[in-house]
Amino acid sequence: MAHRSILIDRLLERGFHAKDIYSFYRIVRLKLRYGARVHLASPSLGMERGSTLLLEKQASVRFGNLVYVRKGTDIEAHDSATIEVGDRVFFSKDCTIVARAGIRIGSDCLFGEQVSIYDHNHRHSEKGIPFREQGFDSRAVVIGNNVWVGAKAFIAAGVMIGDNVVIGAGAIITKNVPSNTVAFTRVTTELRPLHAGQESMIRLDRQ
């Protein structure tokens, strides 16, 4: 413990930032734990304290250059799935990326806070059998280059998103999105009078 503290102090004296030192420490731990199943294009991966990476069985992950993962973000690959992340990709706080078939993300993508990407759903067709025992239907998710996904958006199994796409905050994406598109879920807000006798309901449409 003392030797590690001395090393950190020396790196700080040489101009390294604490978060950079921690990211490098995380990379070393991930490589020791998962070996070749964690592939890095370069040591430029940044993972803040509180972010997690979990690989089960034969699963793997590939990170491109200059990928940054903020705190609270959870990246999981199960079974034999592979998660691929391109260059210059940013995940904001509390994102969730879980793969059982595979998730591929292109380069220059931005993900807002609490974005969720799942490539699978629980089966629920068998009567009398708990959902947790019916297994999963899994279909890979593919996200192109230069995609901006707004906060709290949800991307479902089997979705393919093209290049140069904006996904609005809170959107629920269950169908393919072509390139050069803005995709959003329309939300209607209703304002009702607090007391009887006031003016009728006001309706606001928000896109």
The CA-based angle 99-103-106, given to 5 degrees, is: 155
d(CA 34, CA 23): 16
- Is 124 designated active site? no
d(CA 45, CA 130): 40
| Catalytic-labelled residue, pool 3, 17, 120, 122 | 122
d(CA 31, CA 105): 21
Q: How many CA atoms lie within 13 A of 160 on its CB side?
A: 3
Helix (H/G/I), strand (E/B), else coil: 41: coil
Cβ atoms of residues 75 and 61 within 8 Å: yes
Residue with tokens 């590690």: 4
As annotated, the active-site residues are 122
